[in-house]
């Protein structure tokens, strides 16, 4: 223990060598689309899951020591980490799937530099509400078509049409199990965020019927 740091921190603390910066990218998509797999592939650590415990507001709040009773629900979130350089760490968070927890997404996407929306071409309809959600935020996002076993049967233009996406919305193919592929997808997100930076207005959302 550095004893010089015991006193009231009035002037800078001696062993505060610069402020670390956490950045994050959110990985979203419909249920079972491969979010957990993607986060695990891109992450330098084994995929980790953290939990948020929620309770019905009407039950009231319990104290820390209180036991988790029947009125509570546990929501799991996958996350991963990529240490980019000293003091710069990228975190990946998979959005919790069930729709009733979407209010938690607001917390999660706040401050994200971008998002990946994974799409399974066999279940496009599952992606609609997710895309709707992100279009209503200002978070730059890319559509990543998760081709299982390198299988990408549909051309991007068809998917774009089916998903009612603007022509400028980036779309990439990826294999959620593959580290390089997942990393390339993240690169696409950051590139888009940089490009988006120059065309400040969010991409308008055409009508979409789920």
Partner 1 sequence: MTPGEPSSNRASPLVRPYVLTGGRTADEVVMPPETLVRATGRSPAASFSAPSAAALSALREGISGPVFEPGDEGFAVEQAGSFGAPAHRPLAVVGARTSDDVRSAVEFAAEHGLPVAVQSTGHGNLSNTDGALLISTRRMRRLEIDRRQRSVKVAAGVIWRDVIDEAAPYRLAPVCGSAPSVGVIGYTLGGGLSPLGRTYGFSADYVRKIEVVTADGYRRLVDGDHEPDLFWAMRGGKGNFGVVTAMEFGLVDEPELYGGGLYYDGKDAEAVLRSYVRWAPLLPATMTTSIALLGSTAGLQLPGASAACPLVHLRIAHIGTVEQGSALLTPMRSVATPLLDTVAQRPFTSIAEVHEDPTTPIAADKRGGVLTELTDDTVSALLTTMNTSAKPVLFVELRQLGGAFHRYGSDIGSVGHRDAAYSVYVVSAPIDAGSSVSGSTRLLEAIAPWAAGGVPVNFLGSANAPADVARAWDADTHHRLIGIKQAWDPDNMFRFGYPLIAPPRQVSPEAAELLRRCQEATSVAELAASLGLPLGVVRVLLADLVEAGMVNTYRFDPERAADTQLLGEVLDELRKRV
3-state secondary structure at position 72: strand
CA distance 57 to 115: 30
Q: Which region, judged by CB under 8 A, interacts with partner 1, from 33-41, 44-52, 152-160, 163-171?
A: 44-52
Judged by CB under 8 A, the number of residues near partner 1 is: 84
DSSP for 98-155, written as a single string: SGGGTHHHHHHHTT-SEEEEEE-GGGGGGGHHHHHHHHTS---EEEEEE-GGG---S-
CB of 120 to partner 1, least distance (A): 17
Q: Which region, judged by CB under 8 A, interacts with partner 1, from 31-39, 55-63, 142-150, 160-168?
A: 55-63
CB 6 within 8 A of CB 16: no
- Rule CB under 8 A: is residue 178 a binding residue for partner 1? no
CA distance 17 to 195: 32
Which residue's CB is nearer to partner 1, number 61 or number 155? Answer: 61
Which residue's CB is nearer to partner 1, number 66 or number 122? Answer: 66
Return the residue of 12, 28, 40, 52 that touches partner 1, per CB under 8 A: 52
CB of 153 to partner 1, least distance (A): 25
CA distance 203 to 166: 7
Return the residue of 31, 53, 122, 123 that touches partner 1, per CB under 8 A: 53
Which residue's CB is nearer to partner 1, number 6 or number 155? Answer: 6
List of residues 6+ apart from 150 with CB closer than 8 A: 175
Dig out the tokens for 18 from the structure.
């610069």
57-96 positions binding partner 1, by CB under 8 A: 57-59, 61-64, 66, 68, 72-74, 77, 79, 81-82, 84-85, 88-91, 93
116-175 positions binding partner 1, by CB under 8 A: 128-130, 132-133, 136-137, 139
């Amino acid at each position: 223990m550095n004893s010089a740091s015991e006193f009231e921190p009035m002037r800078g603390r001696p062993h505060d060598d610069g402020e670390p910066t956490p950045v994050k990218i959110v990985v979203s998509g419909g249920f079972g689309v491969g979010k957990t797999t993607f986060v695990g592939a891109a992450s330098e650590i084994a995929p980790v899951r953290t939990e948020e415990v929620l309770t019905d507001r009407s039950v009231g709040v319990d104290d820390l020591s209180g036991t988790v009773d029947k009125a509570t629900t546990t929501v799991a979130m996958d996350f991963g980490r990529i240490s980019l350089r000293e003091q710069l760490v990228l975190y990946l968070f998979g959005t919790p799937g069930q729709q009733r927890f979407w209010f938690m997404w607001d917390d999660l996407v706040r401050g994200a530099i971008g998002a990946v929306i994974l799409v399974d071409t066999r279940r496009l309809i599952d992606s609609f509400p997710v895309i709707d959600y992100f279009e209503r935020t200002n978070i730059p996002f890319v559509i990543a078509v998760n081709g299982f076993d390198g299988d990408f049967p549909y051309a991007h233009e068809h998917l774009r049409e089916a998903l009612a996406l603007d022509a400028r919305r980036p779309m990439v193919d990826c294999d959620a199990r593959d580290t390089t592929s997942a990393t390339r997808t993240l690169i696409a997100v950051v590139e888009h965020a940089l490009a988006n930076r120059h065309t400040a207005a969010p991409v308008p959302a055409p009508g979409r019927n789920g």
